Amino acid sequence: MTCQYSVFGDRLGDKLNMRLSDRIALITGGAQGLGKSIALAMAKEGATIVICDINTKTLPDAQSEIESAGARCLAVQCDVSSVDSVADLFRQTVSAFGTLDILVNNAALVQTGARNEEMRAKFYTMMTTPVPKESLGVTKDFSDEEWHKYWGVNVHGVFYCTREALRIMEPKKSGKIINIASIAGTGGFSAFHPAYCATKGAVLAFTRSVAIEVAGANIFVNAIACGGILTPPMESFLASQSDEGRNALHQIIPLGRLGRPEEYASLAVYLASDEHYLVGQTISPNGGMVL
């Protein structure tokens, strides 16, 4: 009996020492890439996890991986650009776990496809090699449909999820909201995609406004303006480039490499914890690209 009690006590002590013990955390776009890394990092710090993603193929494996890390996990298909889909996501969250303590607005459309990779490579070449300057020719050919699609996910989705979260957090006067933005919203490092830049800039402005609004309710709202992240799509892009092209990209970054997803995830855990006094701040892990 003494031995059993001791083991139980050690486990209980470990749980209590976790930074997010007994918290319910919802990560949008949490079944892949940076979102999954954040979900796993929060799970390892004791949080119960809800992940949503529009991609149903990745949800089961992500849920299994999070549960293997020792956390309870609810996986929900959700299109954050749909107000009805978001409302259903939050209904399922409250039904399963009773409340919500942490929201990470991570889901976003990012630049993919052959045309984007062409423009990205051209931009990096213009930034790093002595070639004649010229317009990238992106905005003049950008379609209305594509423009609205990016705003639907990257801005409207952040608003819909934040609104639902505040309806839970404000009555109990407690909560953490973390908006995943980008240096594309603070500088010209994604000049090859005007919609992505505009929407990420909007997320940063939205973060500041809401943070001031709800701080009096003990709700902390902050943003992470990510630099380059070594996610699978970026790995694919790098693999498609020559050694010279890869070196050109790394040359833009003073640290000389892209950030690993887990390096960004550790910051999200910190912002979700009770260890800080940050309200409405944008923190930018970017290897020195933006200072």
**Rounded Cα gap, residues 59 and 121, in angstroms:** 32
SS3 of residue 290 by DSSP: coil
- Cα atoms in the Cβ-side hemisphere of radius 13 Å centred on 229: 26
SS3 of residue 103 by DSSP: strand
- CA 184, 188, 189, 194 dihedral sign is positive
196 is annotated as an active-site residue = yes
Exposure string for 59-83, b = 16+ CB within 10 A, e = fewer = beebbeebeeeebebbbbebbbbbe
Question: How do beta strands 73-77 and 48-53 pair?
Answer: parallel
Instruction: Spot the catalytic one: 124, 150, 160, 196.
Output: 196
Cβ count within 10 A of residue 44: 17
Q: Work out the end-to-end distance of the chain between its first and last CA atoms, rounded to an integer number of angstroms.
A: 57
Catalytic residues: 196
